[in-house]
Amino acid sequence: MKATLTFLGTGTSQGVPIIGCSCAVCRSTDPRDKRFRSSALVEYGGLKILIDAGPDFRSQMLRAGVNHLDAILLTHDHRDHTGGLDDVRSLNYIDQRAAEIYCEERVLDSLKESYSYAFAEEKYPGAPEWNIHLIDSDPFFVEPPEAGRKLVWVRDKGYCHVNADGTCSPTGGNRIVNAEKVQANEAADSEGSGKGVAIIPIRGMHDQMPVLGFRFGGIAYLTDMSSIPESEFAKLQGLEHVTLNTVSYRHHHSHFSLAEAVEIAERINARHTWLTHLSHTFPTYGAFDAELRQFTEKIEIHPAFDGLKIES
């Protein structure tokens, strides 16, 4: 099944340029050195799937011309990956339905603290509408959203469901369900299953924090990792593209250094490796890309940039 991934953001938690910084990278006029916080849009099996919704979510959606999402997958709960979730309200209004969010239970717990108003039984008018699908490191299906009851905007009440008799009821809370799991041997080819598309999560560690990356057919997207358990490498074989994070030449407690990212890339041995979550400590895009050519005898590796599209 064909997959397309567009990098919506390829920068660190502060983005690039960084506020107040006057280094060569932050002053660069090359658009490839302008980096929103890390996020990606995947088109897979006819579905539009967003990976992470950080503080730049609104600007990313506007720049990419996105007016519909079938699902949002969250890698973990840090604010540079979840800080834009309030802005799904616009999609609630356009699609007239709740946004489908897939995350681990520990991420849900964090969302309940950060967005308590979205989970209130009596919601503040205009609070975002989400359907939360709980996932773990097992493969799962992302399905087209249920037809269900249509959401409508009612002045001074917020989003409401339209009942069969034409009356409206306030939504209250946010629905939480377990995502439907799929056997690992089915995940490689779910086309025609009638259950949407199969996603393979990849477990990683962000210092001591468990996080998830995701595989969509021949593309895998991994970010905010400093290590990958041995058991996960079997999920990363036969890839056309893999995305890995790196923030520095030096060792970092919660991200791959460049040398560590290269070592992981050589082991995965995808046809193409793309680096994301990049900081201003690396050179400007052109210089950094040229520097990475030293590794091309073993792997093809390049820095990603905002707006880059890859296909498998």
Burial 214-225 (b: 16+ CB within 10 A, else e): bbbbbbbbbbbb
Alpha carbon dihedral 266, 269, 274, 276, in 10-degree steps, equals -60
Helix (H) or strand (E) holding 142: strand 140-142
Is the Cβ–Cβ distance between 201 and 135 less than 8 Å?
A: yes
Is the Cβ–Cβ distance between 161 and 168 less than 8 Å?
A: yes
Closest CA relative to residue 175, chosen from 97, 88, 87:
97
What 3-state class would DSSP assign to 259?
Answer: helix
CB within 8 Å of 111: residues ≥ 6 apart: 77, 82, 85, 103, 118, 119, 132
Residue 22 CA to residue 5 CA, distance in Å, equals: 32
- Measured at the CA of 284, the angle between CA 261 and CA 310, to 5 degrees, comes to 55
pLDDT in tens, the chain (312 residues): 899 999 999 999 999 999 999 999 999 999 999 999 999 999 999 999 999 999 999 999 999 999 999 999 999 999 999 999 999 999 999 999 999 999 999 999 999 999 999 999 888 888 999 999 999 999 999 998 777 678 998 888 888 888 878 888 888 888 899 999 998 766 655 554 556 899 999 999 999 999 999 999 999 999 999 999 999 999 999 999 999 999 999 999 999 999 999 999 999 999 999 999 999 999 999 999 999 999 878 899 999 999 999 999
Cβ-based neighbour number of residue 299 at 10 Å: 18
Q: What is the pTM of this model?
A: 0.95
Residue 75 CA to residue 265 CA, distance in Å, equals: 20
